[in-house]
Structure 1
């Protein structure tokens, strides 16, 4: 059995899950993270699926997607984690550089979404590679943080501009509702798609995205999964894609005070759905590379 070094008792976890009811703008909304992790579970190897289920608390019933929003919901308890959800970039440069951009608001290096993904990837990888050693890691939390942050880095405005806080300070209207641009990409495009195209059924949306993965994106999946130099993750690649999409799609025609309606929604929805698919496929690829069949905590 995996030594999960878990979040704590199931009672503590249940108490924390109550916070799922609290709105958040820190990442893809609850629906987005659920989609990413549901897709992930379809692409896990047998070894990775076994390891993931061993790390999950009993209350998750073996479903990673059930807890993929957890890092958003505990941000009030884990204040240090806030900077790990994003990596803002200089305004209008439309590119990402780790050593320039990965820092928190105080300038402390490596505190950003790509730094967090690297951190939790290494925690899981080291523990799995050497089950006989004792590490001071909470591996359940590492899995949940990794799963969540891989989703976050695929949301274009989580690698948005520093000057507008990734779109958080750009006030717009989504049809008749006043909101901000970041929230549009976190939640409202997905919410509108569910109502307009999927009968308000998230499982129907997930099935549609999965069909696209096996159909129109089938030739791209191996490219999404691949990391050069046998790396476990391709952090700069994921982040660079996001800021490029932010410039081309998120910020375009979304100036402060503007009203975003059908034209914006219908042209941006395919971007959102593809990023959810890429996040899910890539998270699975990362976990598959971490939890190989050689040795590890799955046998400990």
Structure 2
């Protein structure tokens, strides 16, 4: 019974404290990606094993446990001045967003950290910098970061936390690409100033905003267009600041780093033009016998499914009888909706996923549509 109650509690906590939502976190990562130096971008790609920053930006929400669930927020009372705020944060344990950011940065800086440790730490850092800039993640414990303050918006029930996670962003009606482009408006002087601020200052900014938000609503209130117009610029600001500052932190960590690749699987798949003897050309029917091999294979697409973070493309037959699933991630997601009923050629490493053959593709050059 205790295990069941704990499981239910963790599920409720996870659902309650996902910050910025899917679009917001991906926008933070996409903005950051544009402001990386070339060496930092290479290091990030290596440590993420070819996954894009946007694609891993919500990974930390999907891998919560009783310890890491506390890393996404910071609870404090209202009414603190700056000095009191800093003292309060420093007196807390490290099981909060501030302590977690410092911890993951230390892992990334430590030359003794393994590639697996750096992969995990980088995924957490990308996510937690976004969390630190969502105002309702630096807020009161008694209302669970605004989750118990019930509101109505767009003719539907919501709460103050969810309103700031995603509802205001969704109301704007922009695509992910438009958000990443339109929110990234900072000039050079602003970028320099924002990147000079410490994580403590990021949290102080969020605290001041959440204090204002608490004062500006009452439980049961209908959130109108005036509220949206007043605060959507703040959403823009916090996501842009998060992206710019994330890039700044990563550039400090990796700009002068020489990444040593010690495992072949840390590298993205080579383009189709590669004629290395290590890449075998096989028949689709033989793909299940080539687990672990780098192959080139051709087959007809029978079905596909876009699950936001990736696109699943089934060759040889429709799901669940497919001979091969091609998983489109990163830049390769641009093929979404274009491959059904087409014959395609794909190159990559064959892996086993729950008894089915898969090839994960991120490089657009690793897949081609046959004439």
Sort the TM-score into its range (normalised by shorter chain): 0.7 to 0.9
2:96 paired with 1:112: yes
Q: What's the CA shift string for 1:104-125, capped at 9, x where partnerless?
A: xxxx711100100000001001
Contact 2:57 2:127 in 1 (8 A): yes
Higher relative contact order (CA 8 A, sep 6+): 1
1:221 is displaced (CA, Å) by: 1.4
Structure 1 residue 57: Cα displacement: 3.1
* Correspondent of 2:30 among 13, 33, 38: 38
Could you tell me how far apart the structure 2 residues matched to 1:285 and 1:30 are? 22
Does the residue aligned with 1:189 lie in a helix, a strand or coil? helix
Cα deviation, 1:162-215, whole Å, max 9, x if unaligned, reads: 222211111111132111100100110111112xxx3xx2211221122x224x
Please give the alpha-carbon distance, in whole angstroms, between the structure 2 residues aligned to 1:253 and 1:134: 45
CA distance in 2: counterparts of 1:182 and 1:282, whole angstroms: 23
CA, structure 1 residues 111+98, in 2 after alignment: closer, same or farther (shift >3 Å)? Answer: farther
Could you tell me whether the CA contact under 8 Å between 2:47 and 2:115 is conserved in 1? no
What does the per-residue CA deviation read over 1:112-166, in whole Å, with 9 as the maximum and x for residues that have no partner?
0010000000100113xxxxx4659611110010010000000111111222221
Q: Which runs of 5+ in 1 are unaligned?
A: 1-21, 128-132, 228-233
What pairs with 1:38-57 in structure 2 (closer than 5 Å)? Answer: 38-57=30-49
Q: Secondary structure of the equivalent of 1:284?
A: helix
* 2:233 is aligned with 1:245: no
Larger strand proportion of the pair: 2
Counterparts of residues 34-183 of structure 1 (less than 5 Å): 34-58=26-50, 60=51, 63-75=52-64, 78-93=65-80, 97-101=85-89, 109-127=93-111, 133=112, 138-183=117-162
1:102/1:114 contact within 8 Å kept:
no
Judged with a 3 Å threshold, the aligned counterparts in structure 2 of structure 1 residues 160 and 299 are, in CA distance, closer, same or farther, namely same
The answer as to whether partners of 2:17 and 2:72 remain within 8 angstroms in 1 is: no
What is the CA RMSD across the aligned residues, in angstroms?
2.3
TM-score, structure 2 as length reference: 0.62
- Report the alpha carbon displacement of residue 261 of structure 1 after superposing the two structures with TM: 1.3
Alpha-carbon separation, structure 2, partners of 1:273 and 1:160: 20
Match of 2:182 in 1: 208
CA distance in 2, matches of 1:192, 1:286: 31
Contact 1:85 1:158 in 2 (8 A): yes
The two structures have a TM-score, normalised by structure 1, of 0.76
Q: Which residue does 2:248 correspond to in 1?
A: 285
Q: Which has more radius of gyration?
A: 2
Q: Residue 72 of structure 1: CA displacement?
A: 0.7
* 2:196 maps to 1:226: yes
Q: Which has the higher helix share?
A: 1
CA distance in 1, matches of 2:241, 2:33: 13
Tell me the CA shift for residue 102 of structure 1: 6.3
Residue equivalent to 1:5: none
CA distance in 1, matches of 2:159, 2:80: 22
1:109–1:24 CA distance, 2 compared to 1 (3 A): closer
Moved more, 115-124 or 157-166: 157-166
Deviation at 1:100, TM superposition (A): 2.2
CA 1:24/1:56 → structure 2, altered by over 3 Å: closer, same or farther? farther
* Equivalences, count: 249
Once residues 146 and 79 of structure 2 are traced to their aligned partners in structure 1, the CA distance between those partners, rounded to angstroms, is 13
